[in-house]
Homo-oligomer: A and B are copies of this chain.
C-alpha cells in the first residue's frame, strides 16, 4: 500500500472516483494495517493548485492551471503528516484525555490543505481575505492545533500543545475561536461546523458579488471544512447542506472523513444511508477519494476538481482509517476518544517509524513549513496594496467594505432608529421591528438576514433589497426555508466571517427550541447574531400550545452571554436593536409580539440600555407603596393597573424589565433607585414562566405568569382565562 506518487495516478484515481450508489460497502483501507515509513519513493512533485486566473503576477503562490510546483518531496510530506499524527498522539497522551483517532486519519488531508492549498497569514489570523478552515468534527481539534503550530501561528506554541485541555490553555478540548486565533468558529457539537462553513461561504459569495470589480477581485477566498460521520447524521448539517446546494456555493469544499467508525462502533449499526447520493440530491458535486490515508495525489486532484466546479459546493468523501498507524487500535472506536496508552503509543511509533521524543517536530519538517510566515505576510501585503488601489478607484464601495472588514460602525448610525411618542399608532412589536430592520439596513453596510420561511409573519423583509439567491448573491434578504437550526448556525458563520457583518434571523419564538444548539454556540463563540423572534407568547392565539412560548424567556435569561430582550413598544424595540447592534460579541434575542401594543408613555431607548427602568411613578423619595413590573405586551397591563391603583391614592411605580441581563449589570446604586430594598410590595406580570422572577419580586412579592402550556383560542380569551389581566394585578397587589 505505497502511496501513489505520480500525477497520472492521481488523475486515474479521480476517474475511478465515487459513483453515487456505490459508496456503501467498500472501505479499502479500513481493515489493513497501515504501512510505516519504510518505503522511500523518489523525490516528487506536489500539485500547487491555482487560485483564480485573475491573480496578479506578484501573487506569491500563483501558478498556471496545469503546472505543478515543487514544494516538497514525498518523504517530507509523509514526515509532516506523521508529525501531525504524533503531535496529536502526544498531546492526548499527556492530557490523558482527547481524541487521537481523527487527527491520525485526517493528517494527510490536513497537511495538503494547510501546506499546499490554503492561503493565510499565520501572524495575522484575522486577515480578511484568508481561506477559512472549519473542523466540523471538532473533537479532532488536535489536528487543527498541530497544523496551526506547524504553520507558525502564535496561538499554538509548543507549550500550548503540552497544555492541551488544561485550565487556562489556548488548546481547549474542542476548537474555540475565542480562545485560539486561527480557529474560525467554535465546534464540537456535531454538525455546527459544516453549517458555520456554509455561512462563511455565503458571506464570501455575498461580499464578492457586492464589492468585486472587473479590475479588482478584492474578495476571493475558499471555505474548507472537514466533517465526520457524526456531522453527517445530524439534521442541522442536512439543513445547511440543502441551502448550500440551493445557493450554489461553489467555493465551499467539504471533506467527509469517511472512517466508518463512531463512538458506538461501526457506522453500520446506525448509518447506512448513501451520503454521497444524498449530497447530490441536495445539489452538491461529489468526489470519492478512496485512499485518504496515503493517496496524496488523489486528495490533491479532488481539490483541483472541486475548484473547477464553480456553481456547486463540493463534498469530497475521503475514506480514511481512524487512528491510522496504531497497529492495535486503528479502525476501532477505542481510538476515537481516548488516549492510546503508553504501550500503544510505542507500538505506533514503531509502526510508523517515528524515533522522536514526544512533541518533536523534525528539522526538515520545521524548515519546510517555515515559508508560510513570510508567504502569509506577503499575501496580506499584496491584498492591502490591492485594497488601497481599490479605495482610490471606488471610494464609496471601499468605505462600505472597510466598515465590514474592520467592524467600525458608521458614525451616527443609531440616529437612523425610529422613535415614538404615546400618540404614535399602536402596533405589534414585530412590525415596529421591521421599521428598525429597514432603518438599520440603510446605514449598516454589513446588515443582512432573513427568516425561516416566516418572513411575512416575522416582518423581516428589507424592502430596499432583493433576495440573496444563487444568481443574485449581492442582495441581502436571505431565504432560509423551514430550517431554524441551520439558519442559526449559518448566521454564526456569517457573523464570524467579518466583524462588520451583522446577521439577523427570524422565526416564531417557540421555535428557538429547534435552533437552541446554534444559539448557545452564538453566545459561546461571541457571534453577535440578532435573533428576531416574533409571536412571543400566548398572544399569538389560535395556533395553540405548540406555538406558544412559555418557558423560553427564562431559558434564555439563564444562558450565559446571551441578551434577552422583550420590548414593550416602539421605543423599546428601537432600544433593543441599538444594544443588539452595539454588542458584536454578544448575541441578542428580541421577543416580539404578534398583537398590537400601544406606545407607552415613559419608554425610551436609554431605558432599554439599562435593562430595567422606571416607566412611570407617582411616588416620592424612592418610597412607592407598590412596584409593578412587566415586560413586553404585559407592560401595558402593569401600566393600566397602576393607573387604577393610583386613582385609589396609592403611590405606584411601574418598571419595565426589558432585559434582565442588562439590569443585573448596573450599579447597586442604580438598582436601588429602581427597586428600593425597603419596598417589598412588588408584583410582576409576564405571559411566561414565573421562574426566576423571585429575584426581583422578592420573598414577599408575587409573580403573575403562566406555568402551564397555552391553549388554542383567540388571544384575548386566553389572556383572560390565564389571569394575565390588569384586574388580576390589582387584586394581587391589594392582597400583598
Which residues from chain A sit less than 8 Å from chain B, CB to CB? 20, 95, 97-98, 138-139, 165-169, 172-174, 176, 186-191, 229-231, 233-239, 242-243, 245-246, 262-264, 267, 269-275, 277-278, 280-283, 333, 451, 453-457, 467, 469, 479-486, 510-511, 513-514, 516-517, 519-521, 523-524, 541-547, 550-551, 554-555, 557-561, 689, 691-692, 694-695, 698-700, 707-709, 711-714, 717-718, 721
B246 touches A544 (CB 8 A): no
A482 touching B262 in the complex, CB below 8 Å, given contacts A167-B717, A695-B694: yes
A167 touching B517 in the complex, CB below 8 Å, given contacts A482-B190, A554-B555: no
Shortest CB-to-CB span from A358 to chain B, Å, is 18
Set of chain B residues within 8 Å of A98, measured between Cβ atoms = 542
A to B CB contacts below 8 Å, 20 in the list: A167-B717, A167-B718, A172-B711, A174-B544, A187-B546, A188-B547, A233-B481, A234-B514, A238-B238, A246-B273, A262-B453, A263-B455, A264-B456, A270-B479, A513-B517, A513-B519, A516-B516, A554-B555, A554-B692, A561-B709
Shortest CB-to-CB span from A177 to chain B, Å, is 12
Set of chain B residues within 8 Å of A514, measured between Cβ atoms = 189, 234, 236, 485, 516-517
- Nearest chain B residue, comparing its CB with the CB of A275: B281
B233 touches A235 (CB 8 A): no
Residue of A281, A521, A524 with highest tally of chain B CB at under 10 A? A281
B264 touches A273 (CB 8 A): no
Set of chain B residues within 8 Å of A451, measured between Cβ atoms = 264
Within 8 Å by CB of A271, from B467, B481, B484, B544, lies: B481
Set of chain B residues within 8 Å of A263, measured between Cβ atoms = 453-457
Shortest CB-to-CB span from A199 to chain B, Å, is 15
Within 8 Å by CB of A235, from B238, B270, B278, B455, lies: B238
A273 touches B283 (CB 8 A): yes
Shortest CB-to-CB span from A223 to chain B, Å, is 20
Copies of this protein, total: 2
Whole-angstrom CA separation of A235 from B480 in the bound complex = 13
B558 touches A546 (CB 8 A): no
- Nearest chain B residue, comparing its CB with the CB of A469: B269
Residue of A235, A517, A520, A711 with highest tally of chain B CB at under 10 A? A235
Set of chain B residues within 8 Å of A698, measured between Cβ atoms = 699
Residue of A236, A520, A546 with highest tally of chain B CB at under 10 A? A546
A560 touching B708 in the complex, CB below 8 Å, given contacts A272-B283, A281-B277: yes
A544 touches B264 (CB 8 A): no
A479 touching B269 in the complex, CB below 8 Å, given contacts A98-B542, A560-B550: yes
